[in-house]
Amino acid sequence: MSLAGRTVLVTRPAGQCARLLGLLTDEHARPVHFPVLELLPDPDALGALPARAAQADWLVFVSPGAIDLAWTVLAGQPLTAQLACVGASSATRLAALSGRKVLYPTEGSDSDALLSLPEFQSMAGRHVLIVRGRDGRPTLAETLAGRGATVSCADIYQRIDAAPDWSRFDSDHPDAVILTSSDMVERLFYLAGPARAGQLQCLLYCVPHPRIAERLARHGVTRIVTTRADDASLVAGLREWFSSHP
Q: Domain of 237: which CATH number?
A: 3.40.50.10090
CB atoms under 10 Å from CB of 201, counted, come to 14
Regarding whether 79 and 12 lie in a shared domain, the answer is: no
Same domain, yes or no: 153 and 166: no
Residues 45 and 152 in one domain: yes
Q: Is residue 2 part of a domain?
A: no
- Residue 1 inside a domain? The answer is no
Same domain, 93 and 170: no
Please give the tally of structural domains in the chain.
2
Domain that holds residue 61: 40-159
- pLDDT tens readout for residues 133-148: 998 789 999 999 999 9
How far apart CA 174 and CA 228 sit, in angstroms, is: 22
Q: What is the pTM of this model?
A: 0.87
In this structure, are 48 and 140 located in the same domain? yes
Segment 180-213, tens digit of pLDDT:
999 999 999 999 999 999 999 999 999 999 999 9
Kindly state the percentage of the chain with pLDDT values over 70.
100
Distance, CA of 235 to CA of 233 (rounded, Å): 5
Element (H, E) at 16: none
44 & 155 share domain: yes
Residues with Cβ within 8 Å of residue 134, at least 6 apart in sequence? 42, 155, 157, 158, 159
Cα distances (angstroms) measured from residue 184 to each of 47, 113, 213, 231? 28, 21, 12, 17
Instruction: Sort strands 176-178 and 7-10 into parallel, antiparallel or unpaired.
Output: parallel
SS3 content of the chain, % helix, strand, coil (to 5): 45, 20, 35
List the 82-85 sheet strands across, edge first: 37-41, 150-161, 127-133, 58-61, 82-85, 102-103
26 within a domain of the structure (yes/no): yes
Q: Please, where are the H alpha helices in 75-138? A: 88-98, 111-115
Choosing from 115, 135, 159, the residue where a domain stops is: 159
Clarify whether residues 84 and 143 are in a common domain.
yes
Looking at the structure, do residues 173 and 70 belong to the same domain, yes or no?
Answer: no
Kindly state the average pLDDT of the residues 54-63. 96
DSSP conformation class of 122? -
> Distance of CA 237 to CAs 59, 164, 165, 195, Å?
32, 25, 26, 29
